[in-house]
Each structure stands twice: as C-alpha cells, then as structure tokens.
A and B are shown apart, each in its own frame.
Chain A
Amino acid sequence: MASALQTPNLLIIIDDSSFDLRINSGIASHTKLFKQIVCFSSAVAALDFLAENINNPEIFPHVIFLDIQMPEMDGFEFLERYDTFPNEFKAKSHVIMISSTDDLRDIVRAESDRNVVKLLKKPLQIEALKTLVAKIYKL
C-alpha cells in the first residue's frame, strides 16, 4: 500500500447528473493523475461497491468526488455511512466534494466534515483539481 500513497490510482465519481459524470471524468482524465476512473450515478451504488471491495487493495478509491444534492441518498448521508469505514481506509481515501451549491450552510457543513478534504465548486476547474491532488499526494 506504500506505493499507492505516491500516486492516486483509482478515482470514484459520485453524481446523479450524467452530464456532470461525463464532464468531471473528462476533466479528471485531462489531469493525467488517475489510472482509472469509475462513475456512479447514485451514492447507494457507490457505497455498495466500496463495501464489497473494502478488502481488495486492487480496487481502492484513492480519491472520491462526491456531489451534495442527490436523490435517495445525498452527499452528507453518504459521508455519515462513509464515516463508519475503518480508519486505515479513510486515512488513504480522500473525499473531495464537488457541488454547485450556493447555500452557506451546505458549504460550511462540507468544509467542516472531517472526511472531506475540500469542497470544489462546479464547474470543476482543472487547475484547482490538479493543485489539490498534488497537495494531498505531495507531488
């Protein structure tokens, strides 16, 4: 797992908008920072996937893009479940919230969540993403 810390391998994107999955995976692949990108259109499906592969080092989500407003399970509900994952897991997996929200309460809540590295505003800017990932992985 030591090598996994050096470069992020797998990026998981969770967003109910198919547009935003297409756009953000496009922008993420332009950064050339991720070897693999997997998209989920629901937080529940993503959570199932993560739980199923929790002991599989081949499928480890180094970075997770998480939308806030989603039907069924929103980003904050996802974070509550995610918080129950083992600490070793969370230490190496980095959640970046990506939202178009303008609501001060949403923004403050996202920024203060201990499992959230940062909130990036939609539309996602490639430079902001590059800088943030570089900072996390000390590239």
Chain B
Amino acid sequence: MTVIKVLYVDDEENNLSSFKANFRRLYEIYTATSGAGALDILSQTEVHVVISDQRMPEMTGVELFKKVKKLYPEPIRILLTGYTDIDALAGAINEGDIYRYITKPWNEIELNNGIQNAYDVFKTRRELKDKVEELEKTNDELNRFIYSISHELRAPLASALGVINLAKLDNVYHESEKGHEYWGLIEDCCARLDYNITSTLQYYKNSRYSTIKEEVDFQKLVNELIVVHKLANNVEDKIKFDVNIDQSEKFFGDVFRIEIIIGNLISNAIKYQNPDEQNKLIQIDVKVNRLDAIITIIDNGLGILNDHLNKIFNQFFRIHNQKGTGLGLFIVREALAKLDGKISVESVVNSGTKFTLRIPNEL
C-alpha cells in the first residue's frame, strides 16, 4: 500500500510538533513554517495532501493554496482556521482553492478523517487521469492499427490478384477447363475478401468515431469519390458520370460519414451496371439548402426487384450473388442514422435504380 504523504504548514513550531506526534505512525509527514517553505517542499516531493494554517505572516494559507493550485494542482488542500476567519474564506472555498476547512483547535479524529477523505479524492482523480491517458493511448494505437491493417491486409491481396492477371497473360489461366475454373474461383474469393476488408473497416469506423462537423464541398467530394471508385473498379472511362451540384449555401456535416455514404452508393452504381448497356450512365445530383443536402444517385444498371427493395439495407442481404457481402448498404444506413439522414430507393429491373438521400445541414 502507498504511504500517504502529508505536508503540514504552520508558523507555530508547537503545532507542527503536536501534528507529528499524532500522525507520524499513520503518514509520511513533511512540515514547513511558511508558505515559501511549503512551495519549496512541493517542488521536490510529490505529496498527496497539504494542510495549512490560515494565519501566517507573509503568506496566508489561502494565498499559499492559490499558488499551490496553480503550480501543483494534484495535492488536495485542507485549511486550518479559527471561526473568525470564515467569512473571508468563502471566496476561496467557492473557487475550489480549498477542498475542506477544519476549525482550530483541531481534534485528532476530525483531522484524520479530513486527511483520509482528501487522499480518497486524490486517489480517485489520479486513477481517472491514468485511465484517460490509457484510453487515449489505446485509441491512438487503434487508429494507427486500422490505417495500417487496411494496407497490410489489402497489399498481399492485390498481389494475389496481380498473380492471377499474370496467369491470364501467360495463358496459364486458360490452359485447361479445370484450371480455368479454379483460377476463376481464386479470383472471386480474392475480390470478395477485398470488399469485405473495405466494408468491415468502414463499419468499424462508423460505429466508433463520434460525429464531427465541418464544411463540406460536395463538388470536390463527389469528384474525388468518382475518381476513387472508378479506380477501384477498373472502369476507366466506360461509364459516363453526369454530376450536377447546386451548392450556393454552405453545408456543415460529418465529411467522413458522408464520404462513406456517397462512396458506397457510387460503388454500387458502378458495380451493378448492365453489361449489355451501351451508354452506361450514372447521374449524381446534389442540392444544398439551409436545412438539408438532397442527393440523388441514378444509374441505368441492373435494377432491383420490387420484392427485394425493402431488404437491401439489411445486413448480409445480397441480390447479385457474385459480388458483395451485403454490407455496403447496411453501412450506408448505419452511417446515415448517425447523421439523422434519410434514404429512399426506387428501382426498375433492367432499367436502373435511384437513391435519394437527405442529410441535415448542421449550419
């Protein structure tokens, strides 16, 4: 068990001696006969509780505690004082300079209780501080972990997909029917794993980070997301994007979550294109007013069956069997819920899908 360290300040030597006589078996005791002496001790030793007499020449107890609070905020401060001083102390007590005052002459039990309570406060605060530091450290590590894992997991996966590409170029892939099937299966597995990593990370980040408010430039955001997702899906310029942003009002919101939401919808619009369609088109409209941003994302892709429309936002629901984990739209819904946003969907099979989003403007 830690020994409680107590500093006792009093200009009367007799009081110091009787304090020592009473408490030396219970505590590690430091004494000073003036405020200056007390500050000197505090600069060298970490004490838990400071007890000071109010009436001292040069520096009063309250004056000392104001300095101690500023320089060494951790030790808990107890003031010893006669009844006559109490009015003058009210300010100091209310400002939190003093944890407790004990009237003079003190009795052993009362003062001992005061020291014990003060130490409990010290200990609780210290534990809280340690916990906060520990949590901040863990948070930091987790964030770094998340960033590096997305690289550490994805890089070898991209290499595996690279080997498959090379196998195709070297005609290994198509050598035999079985070989072709197996290579194809490996390719699908890798693609699915890649998608799983992305969605899991997004889901994790969404559930974890508290929402933040910053200015959003939709023109920039949407264009960046289009670049990213064209790249991710290797579509180059085979799909036409028609982007229309009407943002004369400023918009404030959680960029990170808005990025996840629009990104997932763009990615789906790219993925679920109709391969037979000659003029693949994705139309993105954003209209910002003081209350919301209204975003519509329309594609002329495969579309969704009416029966499926109310299930698409459920976790692990999938329509197009070959791709996806059924996490994308679930993440969209979760992220939107954090922003108090709304989403609706209309779709016609083989003709296209339209998602309409409404995200509140935190202006």
Contact = CB atoms under 8 A, between A and B. Distances in A.
Nearest to A20: B159
A27 to B, nearest CB: 6
Nearest to A24: B162
Contact of B224 (A26, A108, A119, A123): A108
Sorting the interface of chain B by its residue count into under 10, 10 to 19, 20 to 34 or 35 or more gives 20 to 34
Looking at A100, A111, A131, the one whose CB has the most chain B CB atoms below 10 A away is A100
Contact of B166 (A26, A104, A121): A26
Contacts of B56: none
A88 B159 CA distance: 34
Looking at A30, A101, A102, A108, the one whose CB has the most chain B CB atoms below 10 A away is A102
Given A19-B162, A124-B162, A69 B155 contact: yes
Interface in A8-45: 17, 19-20, 23-24, 26-27, 30
Contact of B162 (A20, A128, A131): A20
A26 B169 contact: yes
A131 to B, nearest CB: 7
Contacts of A24: 162
Contacts of B157: 100
A103 interface: yes
Interface string A79-100: 0000000000000000000001
B198 A123 contact: no
B151 interface: yes
Interface of B: 147, 150-151, 154-159, 161-166, 169-170, 198, 224-225, 227-228, 231-232, 234, 236, 259
Interface of A: 17, 19-20, 23-24, 26-27, 30, 69, 100-104, 107-108, 111, 119-126, 128, 131
22 contacts: A17-B159, A19-B156, A19-B163, A23-B165, A23-B166, A24-B162, A26-B166, A26-B170, A30-B169, A69-B155, A100-B151, A100-B154, A100-B157, A100-B158, A103-B150, A104-B259, A107-B228, A108-B224, A121-B234, A123-B165, A124-B165, A128-B236
**Closest 3 pairs (CB-CB, A-B):** A122-B158, A23-B162, A100-B158
Given A26-B166, A26-B169, 5 more contacts: A17-B155, A20-B155, A30-B170, A123-B164, A126-B169
